[in-house]
Amino acid sequence: GNSVTQMEGPVTLSEEAFLTINCTYTATGYPSLFWYVQYPGEGLQLLLKATKADDKGSNKGFEATYRKETTSFHLEKGSVQVSDSAVYFCALKNNQGGKLIFGQGTELSVKP
Amino acid sequence: NAGVTQTPKFRVLKTGQSMTLLCAQDMNHEYMYWYRQDPGMGLRLIHYSVGEGTTAKGEVPDGYNVSRLKKQNFLLGLESAAPSQTSVYFCASSSSYTRAGDPYEQYFGPGTRLTVT
């Protein structure tokens, strides 16, 4: 079946450090891939997405590239800020209906 | 636009009590979803609906019922609450068609924190 695996958290970084959160997936066919972000006390918001192999999603300085050969969609940011502290979820959707499969989430804490 | 709203925000129940969580969306979305979020487990789909009057089971449906009598509302019911249902519940909605390059983005409500003692 479909599944998403993320690196374990929590991840603690200093401000301006480089961020990578690993995400790999198992799916049949050609899924769409997403990163959602959950700020403290809030619901999830779509951060970025990619719909086909080699697509790069980007938003707010975050990037992720859809790598079909390694079934990965790693999230990166060159210089994190304290305001990036949140929980990040990788997710996939097969192009049948709207159901998402989420990873377990990775908590990021950025210290000044 | 309010987007997706959920009521209540917090609730404490005793074992065996019942309650209904309400989700409302004003984006004219066809699809709606209920998830639960537990530490270390991400979000798991409880039930979903692809249109008014239709519902379907997700990954963890046991102990919950849902109804979608109106397109904009999706209700989640707990008939006899159990401590294992202590969780944060999120509702989401999405459109049913693919706009060019847009693969059914889901919009989430702020969540309901439920504690069952």
Write out chain A residues lying below 8 Å of B25, CB-based: none
Instruction: Give the span between the Cα atoms of A76 and A74, in whole angstroms.
Output: 7
pLDDT at position A56: 97
Among A97, A68, A90, A81, CA closest to A23? A90
Instruction: Give the span between the Cα atoms of B78 and B66, in whole angstroms.
Output: 9
User: Which of B58, B103, B109 lies at the smallest CB-CB distance from A43?
Assistant: B109
**What confidence tens digit (pLDDT) does each residue in A54-110 have?**
999 999 999 999 999 999 999 999 999 999 999 999 999 876 656 889 999 999 999
Q: Verify whether the Cβ–Cβ distance B58 to A93 is below 8 Å.
A: no
Instruction: Give the span between the Cα atoms of B3 and B8, in whole angstroms.
Output: 16
Pairing of the two strands A11-14 and A106-111: parallel
Residue of A nearest to B40 (CA): A104
Instruction: Tell me whether B43 touches chain A (CB under 8 Å).
Output: yes
pLDDT at position A109: 97
pLDDT at position B99: 56
Among B13, B36, B34, B11, CA closest to B23? B34
Q: Which of B21, B105, B107, B113 to mutate to test the interface with A (most CBs of A within 10 A)?
A: B105
A11: Cα within 13 Å, side-chain hemisphere: 23
User: Which of B31, B33, B105 lies at the smallest CB-CB distance from A46?
Assistant: B105
Checking if the pLDDT of B79 tops 80, the result is yes
Q: Which amino acid is at A82?
A: V
Q: Give yes or no for a contact between A100 and A49, defined as CB atoms under 8 angstroms apart.
A: no
Q: Quote the DSSP letter at residue B23.
A: E
- Strongest mean pLDDT among A6-10, B33-37, B100-104: B33-37
Handedness of CA A24, A28, A65, B97 (dihedral sign): negative
Q: Give yes or no for a contact between A50 and A79, defined as CB atoms under 8 angstroms apart.
A: no
Q: Verify whether the Cβ–Cβ distance A49 to B103 is below 8 Å.
A: yes
Checking if the pLDDT of B102 tops 60, the result is no
Instruction: Give the span between the Cα atoms of A51 and B58, in whole angstroms.
Output: 23
Instruction: Give the span between the Cα atoms of A49 and A65, in whole angstroms.
Output: 9
pLDDT grade for A111, boundaries at 50, 70 and 90 = very high
In this structure, the number of other CB atoms found within 10 A of the CB of residue A107 comes to: 15
In the three-class reduction of DSSP (H, G, I as helix; E, B as strand; rest coil), residue B99 is classed as strand
Write out chain B residues lying below 8 Å of A32, CB-based: 103-104
Instruction: Tell me whether B60 touches chain A (CB under 8 Å).
Output: no
Instruction: Tell me whether B46 touches chain A (CB under 8 Å).
Output: no
Residue in this structure with the two tokens 């409302």, named with its chain if needed: B24
